[in-house]
Amino acid sequence: MNDLSIETPNEEEFKLFQHLIERELGIYLPSEKKVMLGNRLWKRVVANECASYRRYYRLICRVDNAKELARELELITTNETFFFREKKHFQFLEEELPQYFQQYKKLKVWSAACSTGEEPYSIAMTLMNTGYINSWSVMASDVNKKVLQKAKDAIYLDQRTQNIPPDYRKKYFQQGIGEFNGYIRVKPEVRKRVAFLQCNLSNDFSHIGLFDVVFLRNVLIYFSLERKKDILQRVSKQMKKGGVLFTGHSESLHGLVSDLKCICPAIYLKQ
Ligand SMILES: C[S@@+](CC[C@H](N)C(=O)[O-])C[C@H]1O[C@@H](n2cnc3c(N)ncnc32)[C@H](O)[C@@H]1O
């Protein structure tokens, strides 16, 4: 085996990983993703001195190898995100949401696939800045422990923060110095308003509590139609009546859940 050039799994090997990934994460990898799977896993195949993908598959399926399995799964998730992604959602949070929540004393928000934290911190900064409600909390979750750790650290490359409004940048971030030159960090007063939790949306999460607002953005695209439907129904159960759900702009919920009514593009009201 040559560790310099990345090998692509054959059809049989691909199927083994396809089933494993769907079982563990709910993520469905169509066969066009064979090369992508190779690109993401090859390093681990080589690092574990496995002669083939099949050997690596056997290795991660061993009960005493849960750590390597977790590592493999972390390489599969796509964690692309950025601050204030889909700006209209944050405008809605700032300008429209108050009319829905006048009756509430406390606003509970769930960012259900939070990746490295840009989404929940954007929500927290928006709520902090508008000040229309004092009592609010953000719970942020993801299946991938590695990205959750980055989210908790809240340290970001300066270049990746162009979308942050300048006044937010000034108020809610610290500039890194010394070894952190070129980085910024979310200030403690924002960090402490966001709690992080590992949660696999494919598994039961009924213990997680009830929310007024849920962000479930740019994650449904990775699931099969059946799985998407199942996750949406269970997410909807965790929402209070009159609660608001935000999804990614490319993710249509049409015909998937009956108790969520579309009120704006990619924004739904729980009936
Ligand atoms: C593309 S990112 C989206 C991040 C953010 N919501 C946004 O819109 O910018 C998708 C995230 O979904 C997470 N994810 C994938 N499968 C998941 C699952 N079964 N349960 C929970 N999170 C999952 C990934 O780890 C990844 O961080």
User: For residue 1, is pLDDT > 80?
Assistant: no
- Active site (annotated) includes residue 204: no
For a mutational test of ligand 1's pocket, the pick from 79, 115, 227, i.e. the residue with the most ligand atoms closer than 8 A to its C-beta, is: 115
Residues lining ligand 1, CB < 6 A? 25-27, 77-81, 85, 113, 115, 119, 142-144, 147, 200-202, 217-219, 222, 248
Which one from 54, 64, 71, 142 is the annotated catalytic residue?
A: 142
SS (H, E, C) the chain: CCCCCCCCCCHHHHHHHHHHHHHHHCECCCHHHHHHHHHHHHHHHHHCCCCCHHHHHHHHHCHHHHHHHHHHHHHHCCCCCCCCCCHHHHHHHHHHHHHHHCCCCEEEEEECCCCCCHHHHHHHHHHHHHCCCCEEEEEEEECCHHHHHHHHHCEEEHHHHCCCCHHHHHHHEEECCHHHCCEEEECHHHHCCEEEEECCCCCCCHHHCCEEEEEECCCHHHECHHHHHHHHHHHHHCEEEEEEEEECCCCCCCCCCCCEEEEECCEEEEC
Give the pLDDT mean for 170-189. Answer: 96
Whole-number Å distance, alpha carbon 205 to ligand 1 midpoint, is 15
Asked if the domains 11-76 and 87-270 are classified in one and the same CATH topology, the answer is no
Catalytic residue flag (residue 40): yes
* Mean of per-residue pLDDT scores for the chain: 94
1 CA → ligand 1 middle, Å:
33
Domain definitions of the chain by residue range: 11-76, 87-270
Determine the pLDDT at residue 4. 63
Supply the pLDDT for residue 91.
Answer: 96
Mean pLDDT of 126-150: 94
Assign 2 a pLDDT band (cuts: 50, 70, 90). Answer: low
pLDDT of the residue at 178: 94
Mutational test site, ligand 1, from 196, 219, 224, max ligand atoms within 8 Å of CB: 219
Q: What is the pLDDT of residues 61-110, one digit of tens each?
A: 998 889 999 999 999 999 999 999 999 999 999 999 888 776 667 899 99
Cα 142 to averaged position of ligand 1 atoms, centre (Å): 6
Second-level CATH architecture of 87-270: 3-Layer(aba) Sandwich (3.40)
Domain 11-76 has CATH 1.10.155.10: yes
Average pLDDT over residues 219-236: 95
Protein residue whose Cα sits closest to atom 15 of ligand 1: 77
